[in-house]
Structure 1
Amino acid sequence: MGTEARAFTRALRALLLVLAALLSFNCQSARDEPTGGETHFLQRCRDSATCGGSLVCACGVCTTPCDSAATCGSFPAATCAAPEASTCDERDRSYCEVSCALDAECAELSAEHRCADGRCRKGGASASTCAGEHAISANELVVLGDSFFAADHGTTAYLEELARSHGAISLGERYRDYSRLVGNTLAFLGAGIREQYAAAVAESAVRVVLMTGGGADVLLGSCEELSEDCPLLAAAAAEASALLQRMASDGVEQVVYVFYPDPFDAELRAEVGALRPLLERACKDSAAPCTWVDLRGVFTDHEASYLDAEGTIPTAEGARATAAELWSVISAGCIGQ
C-alpha cells in the first residue's frame, strides 16, 4: 500500500472512530460484589474504622484474622497466610489473603482489585491516609488526552466517583477534563495535547496531570519503516518530553501518564508497541515526577467487553476498569488526594 493510500485509510478510520464515539452511549448495571457483600476486603486502610463492620485494618489492608483456610471461605480464592515480615509489624497472627501474579487473578474479588507485589489490593485508603502536604482541590487536577479519554469522558466520571467514595473530593467537585476527540495529537499535524495543557493553565493552577497521548499520532500518521527512528514516533516522543519539561517548569507536582491497551489492528498495534517504550522513557526521565501506567495488564483477557470493535476506545466497562486502575495508582501514591 502506498503512502497516500495508507494516509487516506488512516484518516478515514479516524473519522469513523470519532463518529462512533459521538454516537455511542452505554448503560450498564453495577457489577455484583462477589466478596459476600463485604466491599472492603483487601482495600488499603489506615485504621479499622475504614474497613466496615466485619473487617479489621491489619498490615495496611482490610482483612480478618484466621486460624485456617476455612475462616476465609467467604472470600474468593482467599487463604490464611502470615503477613510479610518486611511490610507488617503484626507478624504474630495470620490473616485472610489472596495471592496473585497478574491483575486478572484479582478480578474475582472485584473490578477494582489489582495485583500489587504478589497480593490483591483494592484502591487506596481514605484521603485522610495521605499527609496534608499532598492535599489538593479537585480543580487542581486536570485530565488531558485523546479519544481514549474523550469518547464519553467516562473514565474521568468513574474516577470522580471513586474519589468521592474515599473522601478525596467532595460532592459536586469535578476534575477538569480537557481531553477531546479532535486536535488531540502529541506532534502530528499540531500539538493538541500541549494546547489542552495550555488551556488548563490559563484557566487556573494545575498541580496534578492525568494524561494519555500518542494514540492519535499513530492512528493518523504512519511509518515507512517501523523503528524508534521513525519520524512520526520520534516527534511524538520529543513533544512528550518537552511537554513534561514545561509541566515541571510550571510547578506541576505529579504527572500520571496512561498508555493504551493493544488495539486490534495488527499494523496499528505494532506502531503503538513501538511508541510505548519511547513515551515510557520520557516519563521516567521527566523533571516533573511522572508515574507510568500501562493498561495492557488491565485489559488482557477482557478486550471483548472492555474495548470497542476497533480496539481503540474503551466501553463503559473498560472506562470503569481504567478508572479503577488509576485510582489504585493515585491513592496508593497519595497523588491528588
Structure 2
Amino acid sequence: MRSIPSYAATKLSVLGLLSIGIWACGEANDGGTSSTGGGGPDGTTTSSAETTATVGSGGAATTGAGGATAGSTSSSSSSSSSASTAEASSSASGGETVGTGGDPAECVKGQTKGNQVAVIGESFIAATHGITQQIEKQAKANGSLAQSDRYIDNSVSGTTLANDQIPSQYRKAAENGMIKYVLMDGGGNDCLLRGDGDGALAAAESLFETMEKDNVEKVVYFFYPDPIGNNFSSLKSCLDTLRPKMKALCDGLTSPKCYWLDLRPTWNGHNEYTQDGIHPTSAGSIATGDAVWEVMKENCVAQ
C-alpha cells in the first residue's frame, strides 16, 4: 500500500493507500496469473494527478503515482447467506448444479478451470493479491481448482468503476469467452477520488448488463469494511450511502446471479486487519479471502 502522510498528504496518501490495496494491481498474466501494475495506478489510464497508495502484506504503506483507493467494506455474511437461501435453484453450466438453498452437497466439485473465474477491482484486492491467493488456496484444498491453476486476477490499484477502468478489467478477462464467475469489489475509489457513488452504481449496472450478454453465471460482490481513522470520514460517508444501493442492485440480479458480501462483520473488532485504515494486512487478506470463499461454497460459485 502507500503510506499516508498528513492529510494534505492525507487525501493523496489516502487515495494512494486506497489505490494500493484496492486498485493498484497490474494486469493479470495470461493463463490466469495475476500481476501488479508497475507504474500506473490502474495499469491503464488513471490520471497522473491521482496519487496511489499501496499496502503490502504487512500493511506497510508506500506512496507512488497513480490512483488512490478506498478500503471500506460492506457485504455481510448474513446478507450473503440469506441471499443464498432465497437464490438457490439455478443450474450452472459445466456440470455445476445448485439445489434448493444452494446446498453444497448438491454442488458438483472440480468442474471449474482457473480461466473461467475473473477477479476485478482495485487496491483492496490488488495491493498484495493476498485475497485472491487465499481464495485459490481454499479452492485447491476443496478440490475445486487444480493445484497448478490460477484465477485471472486483473485488479489494479487506483481504478474506479465510473471511468470504465474496472469494467475494462472484466472485458479483458472475457476476451476468451470463457468467464463464468466474477469475484469483485468496486466503488471505493469512486468515493475516495471522485466522491461519486452514483457514478459507480451506474457503471456497475452497465457492467452487469455486459456480463449478462456474455452469459456469466454468478458474481460475488464483496464490499469494503469501514475505514478506520478520522481522515476517512468523507470516504465512510460516501460508502455508507453507496452500500445499500449497490446491495439492492446485486440482490436484484438474476442473470448473472449476484451474491453480496458485506465485509464489516468480518472486520469489525479486528484492527490488526489493516495498518493504514483501509487496505488489508496479510491477516486481513486471509480473513477476507476466507469470507469470500464461504459465500462461494454456500452458493456453488466456481466449485
Match of 2:130 in 1: 154
Instruction: Extract unaligned runs of 5+ from structure 2.
Output: 1-6, 21-51, 60-75, 83-103
Match of 1:271 in 2: 238
Q: Does 1:314 align with 2:280?
A: yes
What SS class does the counterpart of residue 295 from structure 2 fall into? helix
Match of 1:245 in 2: 209
Q: 1:271 to 1:207 in 2, by over 3 A?
A: same
The one-letter code matched in structure 1 to 2:263 is L
Match of 2:256 in 1: 288
Greater Rg over alpha carbons, structure? 1
Match of 2:15 in 1: 14
Match of 2:29 in 1: none
Q: Does 1:335 align with 2:301?
A: yes
Q: Quick check: 1:7–1:221 contact (8 Å CA) kept in 2?
A: no
Identity %: 34
The one-letter code matched in structure 2 to 1:293 is L
Once residues 142 and 7 of structure 1 are traced to their aligned partners in structure 2, the CA distance between those partners, rounded to angstroms, is 36
Q: Quick check: 2:116–2:181 contact (8 Å CA) kept in 1?
A: yes
Q: 1:289 to 1:327 in 2, by over 3 A?
A: same
Q: Does 1:216 align with 2:189?
A: yes
Count of aligned pairs between the two proteins: 223
The Cα shift of 1:156 comes to 0.5
Match of 2:266 in 1: 298
Once residues 141 and 117 of structure 2 are traced to their aligned partners in structure 1, the CA distance between those partners, rounded to angstroms, is 17
Match of 2:178 in 1: 205
Match of 1:67 in 2: none
Q: 1:134 to 1:156 in 2, by over 3 A?
A: same
Match of 1:178 in 2: 154
The Cα shift of 1:258 comes to 0.6
What SS class does the counterpart of residue 290 from structure 1 fall into? strand
Once residues 306 and 155 of structure 1 are traced to their aligned partners in structure 2, the CA distance between those partners, rounded to angstroms, is 12
Q: Which has the higher contact order (CA 8 A, sep 6+)?
A: 2
Cα deviation per residue 1:88-136 (whole Å; 9 max; x = unaligned)?
A: xxxxxxxxxxxxxx98xxxxxxxxxxx979xxxxxxxxxx944449932
Once residues 283 and 128 of structure 2 are traced to their aligned partners in structure 1, the CA distance between those partners, rounded to angstroms, is 12
Cα deviation per residue 1:276-313 (whole Å; 9 max; x = unaligned)?
A: 011111112223200000000000111x101232x211
Once residues 13 and 194 of structure 2 are traced to their aligned partners in structure 1, the CA distance between those partners, rounded to angstroms, is 12
Q: Does 1:233 align with 2:234?
A: no
Q: Quick check: 2:126–2:157 contact (8 Å CA) kept in 1?
A: yes
Within a 5 Å distance, the mapping from 1:41-190 to structure 2 comes to 129-132=105-108, 135-182=111-158, 184-187=159-162, 190=163
The Cα shift of 1:14 comes to 1.4
Q: TM-score, normalised by structure 2?
A: 0.67
Q: 1:25 to 1:320 in 2, by over 3 A?
A: closer
Cα deviation per residue 1:32-72 (whole Å; 9 max; x = unaligned)?
A: xxxxxxxxxxxxxxxxxxxxxxxxxxxxxxxxxxxxxxxxx
The one-letter code matched in structure 1 to 2:249 is A
Match of 1:64 in 2: none
More displaced 10-residue stretch of structure 1: 313-322 or 264-273: 264-273
Once residues 271 and 320 of structure 1 are traced to their aligned partners in structure 2, the CA distance between those partners, rounded to angstroms, is 26
Q: 1:134 to 1:291 in 2, by over 3 A?
A: farther
Once residues 12 and 133 of structure 1 are traced to their aligned partners in structure 2, the CA distance between those partners, rounded to angstroms, is 43
Q: Quick check: 2:119–2:184 contact (8 Å CA) kept in 1?
A: yes
Cα deviation per residue 1:256-278 (whole Å; 9 max; x = unaligned)?
A: 11100011222211111111011
The Cα shift of 1:249 comes to 1.3
What SS class does the counterpart of residue 21 from structure 1 fall into? strand
What SS class does the counterpart of residue 54 from structure 2 fall into? helix
Once residues 134 and 251 of structure 1 are traced to their aligned partners in structure 2, the CA distance between those partners, rounded to angstroms, is 20
